[in-house]
Every structure is written in structure tokens, then in C-alpha cells.
Chains A and B, each alone.
Chain A
Amino acid sequence: MKSGSVVISKRIDKFFLKLNDIYLFVLRFFKEAFLPPYEFREVVNQCYELGVRSLPLISVTGFIIGIVFTNQSRPSLAEFGATSWLPALMAVAIIRALAPLVTALIASGRVASKIGAEIGSMKVSEQIDAMEVSAIKPFRFLVVTRVLATTLMIPALTIYTAFVSLLGSFININQREETSIITFFEQVFEAITYLDVFSSIIKAFFFGFTIGIVGCYKGYTSSNGTQGVGKAANTSVVIAMFLIFVEELLAMQIINAIRFQ
């Protein structure tokens, strides 16, 4: 009979084996990304598929978040008669945290699952093997292109989300406090620093990379037929979201250390 400790130690072994697998996958990405053939066209395709086609969802979500957060923050400031600070507060909240996080979480839901399902189904239906035997490098064609696309598009989408959220925020403030758009954006730009902007964009690069790598890894290593494809899509989202929160926490520590130096 297996004792409990054996079962646990096997689980731990499995966990570290998996971690090592992921590490090797990331390493392979960096190795293959620099090797020809370079699939520029496919990178552009994927940027469109994964980035541009996320625009409608991101637009609606970003806009609503701008309105809601502004509206919900107003009472706290009103207590101190400080509602005139609302643009500055929202600028900081949106640029530092909301825009990258909301973009990355939405992309986890839409993009990581799409990548996981797409590559997963190609894996279980032997399409990846078919590429391999026709001497077409599937890792470069499927994985490198998608990871590059998410790594490039998430920062771009983040900037866009920030813009739409600020717009939502402005509309709410304009209705209630009758602040003009010029005054609003003057206050916004006064409140944020270069560090805020650059740290958010860099953070978004990491989020994008994470989303691409997780989706590709889960898809590329999926098995067990159609069931495996569903699982790949599903776990891609869960793991990507989890890692994004962990990265957010780490980034906050690092950026604060720089800010208060």
C-alpha cells in the first residue's frame, strides 16, 4: 500500500517536473525566436487576430470601468470636499493599475483560451506532427509568432485601454462637476509621471508574454483528444490570470522601491 507521504512526495516531484517543463518551453522560445525561418507575415496575422480583434471588448470594458470607478470614488473625496482631485486620482489609478490589469485579464479570457484551444486542437489532430514531417518548424510558425504577437499587442492595448477608461472617467466627471476636457486632461497629465507610464508599459510586456507562453504551452502539451483541448483552453485562462496577479504584486513592490528611493 502507498503511504500518504509517498503520494505527497510524488505530487511534489510532478510539480517540479512540470515547472522544469515550462522553464524549458520558455528557453526554447528564446532559442527559436532568433532562428530562421522568420514568420513575419504570421506575426502580423496574429497581431491582428489576437490584438486588433480584441478591440471591441476592450473598448466597452475600459470605458465602463472608467465610468464606474470614477463614480464609486467620488463619495470618498466628497467627504473632504476634494472632488476636484477626481481627475488626478483616476489618472493614477487607471495608468498605474487598472489599464494594464484589465487589459491583461480580458486578454487572458479571450486570447490565452483561444491560443490554448487552437494549438491544442492542432496538437491532438496531429496537425503539428504534419508540419514537423513536412519540415515546417511548427514551434516557430505557431508558438513564436503568437508569443511575439501577444507581447507586442498587450502593451499597445494597454495604452488604448488607458485612453478609453480616461474617456469614460471624463464623461462621468463632465456630467457631475462640469469639468471641461482641457482641464480634465491637464490635471491627468499633471498627476502622472514618466515612471507611471513606462512601468505600466513594461508590466504589460510581461503580461503579454505570460498570456502567449501559457496558452501556447498548454496547447502544445495537450493530449487526450477533444477533452484535452477543452482542458488546455480552460487551464490556460486560469494559469495566465493567476500569474498576472503574481506579476502585478511583484511589479508593485519593485516600482515602489524605485519611486521612493
Chain B
Amino acid sequence: MKEIFSKINHQHQVISIRGLKKSFDDFDVLKGVDMELRQGENLVVLGRSGTGKSVLIKIIAGLLKADEGTVNVLGQEITKISERKLDSIRLKLGFSFQNSALYDSMSVRENLEFPLKRHVKNLSRKEINSNVEMILEAVGLLQAIDQMPAELSGGQRKRIGIARTLILKPEIMLYDEPTAGLDPITCIEINKLINEVQARFHTSSIIITHDLTCAKTTGDRIMMLLDGQFRYNGTFADIFAHTEDERVKLFYDYNFVE
């Protein structure tokens, strides 16, 4: 199990959400969500498929609009700010998509250059190259620099997706099911990478998953989304060691079939 990371600043909240509600047509997905992300921590959000985990981080990134409630990201109320301000917040967010969302028509190098060139003006060719190479080095895939996304494996695509967000030096990372669909060994590597990113780039992260190994290895703190609200909040042991809740037990049992 992960040692509680010593650099977490418990006083400082980078994300703070109160009473968040979201429904689609007549279907209530989030029914009053409260949560906060502390500076420097890895927060794991656990929940079964379809419980609204992706909806939650898409609201944080401003991709979906909240129906009710407040969503404060880095001191800004993102439900109310202008598009311009929202963009300036987004530059400080890194979003790792479930299926990586690499730009198919661009090489790995171009995938990384694309956001960099648009947001950091007047970089020389040399500076761009060294930035791209440094980040690829950090995710351990420098050799893939001139490959196309279609030539990469699932785990490699995930790494490049993470690299593409790291290039803008985000303060907050949002991982949507980082280990879904990957083989067990690749899962372990990705979990390791998530912890490396936390240590090396000093990010605060929300890691969405239903994979308990991922939760255990990456999470400083775990929250569980059940039926549209957060029910449990604590370390892995806090939640799973003495639970009476059938739904939590079920979650545990199916993750560790022994």
C-alpha cells in the first residue's frame, strides 16, 4: 500500500465541489456531490461503470455543465467564469482520457508540439524539441517520438496521452480510468507512472478507476461514488478493512478473485 505522500498540503484545496448535481434527460447521474482535492495528493475516485465518474471530471474540466452546485478549481468558480478565464484554468489541468484521445493524424512528436506551440509563444525549434524530448523521456517513450498513434500499444498510447498533458506543466491531473483495458503488467507500469508524475511534477491528481490495484498503489486518499453521491472517504484500509456495506464488499470481492 502507498505511503501517504509527505508533500500533501492539507490546508490548501485546489478543487472544491459542493452540492453538485447533474442529470441527463430524466436520469439523475450526480445527486449532490461534495468533494475536495488537496494540493499534492492523489485522490482516487472509485465507482462502478455508469455511476458518473467521467461526468464528474468532465464537469471539472468544463466539458459538461453542472445543473446545480459549485465547482471551484484553483480559486475560480468554473460554472460562472467566462470562456477566456476557463481556458486559462484549462491550461493548468491535464486530462488523460480513457482511450487516450491521441490525435490520429499526427505523429507522437506533433501530438506533443500541438498544444505547446499554441500556448507558449516564440519558442525556438530547439526549445520545442528539447521540451518534447524531456517529457517523452519522463514517460519512458523517447524512442516512439516519430511513430504514429496507430503504431502504439494501449499502454504506450496512455503514456503519450499523459505526456501530451504534461508538456504544458499542469498543476492538476485528471485521469479517467488510466488502467482500463490494459494487461496487468502494463497496469502496474501505468500506476507507477502516475506516482512518478505526482512526485516529479508536483501535481495534484484525481484518478478515476474501478481497479482496486490502481486505487491501492496510486491513492493517498480514496472516495467512493455510490448512487450519485460520495459515501466513503479515507485510505484504502479505512474503506475496505471493516466495511459492512454490501456494495463495498461486492466491489472488493470482484476485484480480488482469489
- A-side residues, CB < 8 A to B, are 37, 121-122, 125-127, 129-130, 132-136
Contact = CB atoms under 8 A, between A and B. Distances in A.
Interface in B62-77: 62-63
B119 A135 contact: yes
B119 A129 contact: no
B87 interface: yes
Nearest to B116: A134
B90 A126 contact: no
B91 A129 contact: no
B175 interface: no
B94 to A, nearest CB: 8
A59 to B, nearest CB: 26
B242 interface: no
A129 B165 contact: no
Contacts of B114: 134, 136
A117 B119 CA distance: 28
Contact of B101 (A37, A125, A135): A125
Interface of B: 58, 61-63, 87-88, 90-91, 93, 95, 97-99, 101-104, 114-115, 118-119, 164-165, 168
Contact of A136 (B63, B95, B98, B115): B115
Contacts of A122: 103-104
**Of residues A121, A126, A129, A132, which shows the largest number of chain B Cβ atoms within 10 Å of its Cβ?**
A126
Nearest to B88: A135
Contact of B63 (A37, A127, A132, A135): A132
Nearest to A128: B101
Given A135-B90, A136-B115, A136-B118, A130 B95 contact: yes
Given A134-B90, A135-B87, A127 B118 contact: no
Given A125-B99, A126-B98, A126-B99, A133 B90 contact: yes
Contacts of B103: 122, 127, 130
B87 to A, nearest CB: 4
A132 B63 CA distance: 8
Given A37-B118, A121-B104, A133 B93 contact: yes
A37 to B, nearest CB: 7
B101 A127 contact: yes
